[in-house]
Each structure stands twice: as C-alpha cells, then as structure tokens.
Chains A and B, each alone.
Chain A
Amino acid sequence: MDAAAIHQRLKARLEANVGDCDLQAKDPFIRVEPAAILEVCRFLRDEPDLQFDVLSNETGVDYKAKGIIEVVYHLYSYPHRHALVLKVDAPRDNPVVPSVETVWKAANWLEREIYDLLGVTFEGHSDLRRLLMPEDWIGYPLRKDFVEPEEYHGISTRRESLLR
C-alpha cells in the first residue's frame, strides 16, 4: 500500500491528529501530532492490511531555525513489503514525545539514543538513560547550537592543529 492510501486510512480513523502527507518527498511521509503517535503506531502495526511489524529506524533532526526537533520514524512491513515514514514535531525548548517502545521493542535503544544526542524526552519509556555519551555529560551533541566543552574530567578537547 502506498503512502497516500495509508494516509487516507489514518485520516478516516484519527481525523484531527493526523497532518498532511507529503507525496513529493523522496520518501513520502505523514505528519502526526505528538499526542497521537502511539495510537497511530498501534493502528499501523495491528491492521491486517498494513502490518507495520518493524520499526526500521527512529531518529531526530534539530531544525533550529524553525524551533522544532523532528522525530522521524521509518516503518517497514515484512508481510506486505511496504515502507512508511512518520514525522513528529516537538518544540525545541521542551521536546516531549510519547515513547513507542510498547509497540516495537526496537524503539527502546533508538529512543535512548535520541534522548542522549538530541535531548528529546520520551514519555513512558522504561529506561530513559544516556546511551552513547557518558552518564555525566552535559548538553546534547547533535543539537545545532551545541558547543563542545573545553575539557571533560581534565581531558582537554582543544588541539593546536587539527592535523595533530
């Protein structure tokens, strides 16, 4: 099933919370309100003719100029061999998005990584800790306004020359 058809199915089911569908994009995507993402994902997984049984990828992008952090979900269905992209916009100053860990277990680590690098809080996540950065790290490195600290526990991050 293509993105346009899936979008209509979703619209029929969850009118207010499903935004537009961009069919011109390289990978057509559907915008979803943060509050509805869990319900949308459950619906997409459980409907027999959709069956998105795997969360291929989940990541975040910091759009500083627009003041949002976009969480992107790449879904895939093994039974039907079709893919779908969902996008959720969270405000940059307080990004909170419901966790989809209860729908796909794969979201556990993917969401931990987004929390770690972009500072998005996933509500209802079972174990929201930093994943790649040290536990005591301050700031979110993949944010566009992140400034690398001059040192970490006495280890300087400065180099005289980049080639050294």
Chain B
Amino acid sequence: MSLSGFEVEVERTTASGLETEEMTLNMGPQHPSTHGVLRFVVKADGEVMREAIPDVGYLHRSIEKISEKVGYHGFMPYTDRVDYVAAMFCNQGWGMVCEKLAGIEVPKRGEYCRVIAAEFNRIASHLLSVGTMVLDIGAATPFFHAFREREKINDLLEELCGARLTYNYMRIGGVAWDLPPGFVEKSIAFLDAFEPLIDEYNDLITYNTIYLGRVADVAVISGPEAINYNLVGPNLRASGVKYDVRRDEPYSVYPELEFDVPVGTGEEGTVGDCFDRYIVRIREMQESCKILRQCFKQIPDGPVIAKVPRKFKPPAGDAYIRVESARGDMGWYAVSDGSEFPYRCKVRTGSFAAMAIIDKVSRGLMIADLVAVIASLDIVAPEVDR
C-alpha cells in the first residue's frame, strides 16, 4: 500500500474463500473534521475499519529548530504556535523550563497571573474541543453555544494581553503585564454567567440519546493501555487514572488552590470510552471556574515579573518540566550550553501520544466513528507536528 498517493485502491483477497473487497481510503489532508491538516489512510472492509494509519507532518514548522536560532526570550512567541488553541500553557512551559535552567523565582503575583490566564485558556480550549466534537458528530447548535462563551474568554484574554489566540503573554520570570483595571470584576461576572451554562450544555447535548449512541462504548481505552501509550491529561483521566500534574507534581501556585480531579467512571458505557473523554472535559471546566474564583480572592500585590537580564544566558545543563496543558501533561526539555541560544529544545505534547494510539483503537470501528475518536481525543494537529 502506498502512503503517498491519493488514489483509491481496491484489493481483492480470497483468503476466506469468499471474495471481499478491501478499500484504501484517504481521509484528509483537509477533511473538515480532522482538526487541522492531517491525513488518515483508512483500510476498510465495507464500513468497518481494519486500519487507520495517521500520516502527520503537514503542519511541521520546525519550531524546535527555530528555538536554536532565536534565543530564549525570542522563542516565546513561537511557543504560541505549538498549540494555538491553548497557547498559554506553551508560554508557561517555556517560561518554566528556562526558569528551572537559570534558577529564577517568579514573584507570587506573577504566578497567580499565569494561573488565571492558563485556567481561562483551559476553559476556552475545552469549549472548542467539546463544541467541535459535537459538531463533528452532527449536532451544530451546541457548537455555537460553546463558541459564544469562548468568544467572551477571548475578549477577556485580549484585554489581558492584546491577543485572542497567540497570546505571548508570559515572559521568562513572570508575565508581561499585570491584570488591567476592572479585569477581576469582569472575570467574576463572566464566571457567574458561565457556570450555569455548563448545565445548559448538559441539557442540550450531553445526555441526548442520539449523541450517546455515537459516543458511549466507542473506542474504549483501558487505564493500563492509556499509560503504556503515554496518554495524558483528560484522555488519561477518562480511562480512570486519577492523575493531574497540577495536583500530583504541583508547580506554580497550584498547591494553594483547591480543586477536584474528575475521572471517567463509565457512567453511560465503559470506562475510557468517547463519552468519558467528553464528560471529563465538561467537568474540568467547572473545576477551572473554581480555581479562578480562588485566584481572584487570593491574588497578592507585588511585582509580576522577576529581574531577568535581556541577554539571558542560563548555565550549561539541561532541564525537563511538566505542565498540565488543556491536552494534558506537556513536557518541555531544554538544553543550554551557556550561550544566548538554547542548544536544544523539545516539546512532548498531549496530542502526539493521542495520535499514536488512534491506529490501535480504531480497528474494527466504523469509518464514521473515526471522526468521534479524533474529536474525543482532542487532537490539535499543530501540536503533533510542531
């Protein structure tokens, strides 16, 4: 089978004595439900998938290579493009790994600003994930409800840092700007309005019979399997593994904040099915609201950024940090040789692992289910390719 052609091949096999037709189909590179430019080569027997081989790399922008050319500060805007749906976490990851290399401590208020920005971004990212998942499966209305709220978060974040998608808000040593005047009040007003809306989503779609038929018991990933493939974040928790970097390897000010870690319970089917991955995200939005409210109560006064030299030269060595992004444990590895430029930078993202498991879980599913699987794993293609 060729991976490079776009042709439809028909093979005839007579292994069982009965003549069956196995068809090789291309899904993508720009299928509307593939969440970015990616491509699947599906080998199907009728409507049942035998294999779905992901072909990635269409969005490879060599971000890791760029880091070696632009210096530590200069790389910050590029990190936005690693995962443009949840750029705050990439900012935070790069900031944290540089701070670990150089031993910089971020001022308390700066850490709170980071958490506030990150949790807003988490809600926005989950809204996009949940909205497009429902859209992919065929229900258009909830998508508009989700995006309506996401716009409001974009407005808030725009007030905070001037951008709606690629924020470039954080800096090595803290954040670029303090919260603008009136931001806290607007944010709390948003949270007051948003929390009841989560119930509205549940009324609209979550327990809808047709929706459940498409997602319950589909593409079940067991806990040990999820760990073996290094699934992270909501995908891991949906498989019943209660692990959250924010709680278990705490960083920033998360130890001072109280929140639950929702896990999949198989309430509409089996633990680790598409529905669990969906509902975990819905519940995480509620937890993020809780975290945000605590942040606005506890945020201390003070500077938001530490003193960091413009010519940033961390001592030679390497460091690895983990940050709980909207798509789970995001690993940042940086090597310094003592110069102004990083010697090597590597990002290990949540979608990367999720993409690798698709071939495994999609075997034996219907072609239409592939869309549900991709959406439920919350894959953002640029995060896979970097």
Contact = CB atoms under 8 A, between A and B. Distances in A.
Interface string A127-149: 00011111100000110000000
Interface in A15-46: 25-27
Contact of A141 (B62, B230, B317): B62
A25 B316 CA distance: 10
Given A85-B320, A131-B56, A134-B57, A74 B333 contact: yes
A142 B64 contact: yes
A11 B161 CA distance: 51
- Chain A interface, >50% SS class: loop
Nearest to A45: B228
B152 interface: no
A104 B356 CA distance: 12
B178 interface: no
Contacts of A105: 228-230, 356
- Chain B interface, >50% SS class: mixed
A61 B352 contact: no
A55 interface: yes
Nearest to B356: A109
A59 B334 CA distance: 11
B344 interface: yes
Contact of B355 (A109, A117, A141): A109
A56 B249 contact: no
A72 interface: yes
B258 interface: no
Interface string B132-146: 000000000000000
B318 A27 contact: yes
16 contacts: A25-B317, A54-B228, A54-B230, A57-B333, A57-B348, A59-B344, A61-B318, A78-B243, A105-B230, A106-B230, A131-B57, A133-B60, A134-B57, A142-B64, A142-B65, A142-B344
Interface of B: 3-4, 56-57, 60, 62, 64-65, 100-101, 227-230, 241, 243, 248-249, 317-320, 322, 329, 331, 333, 335, 343-344, 346, 348, 352-353, 355-356, 385-386
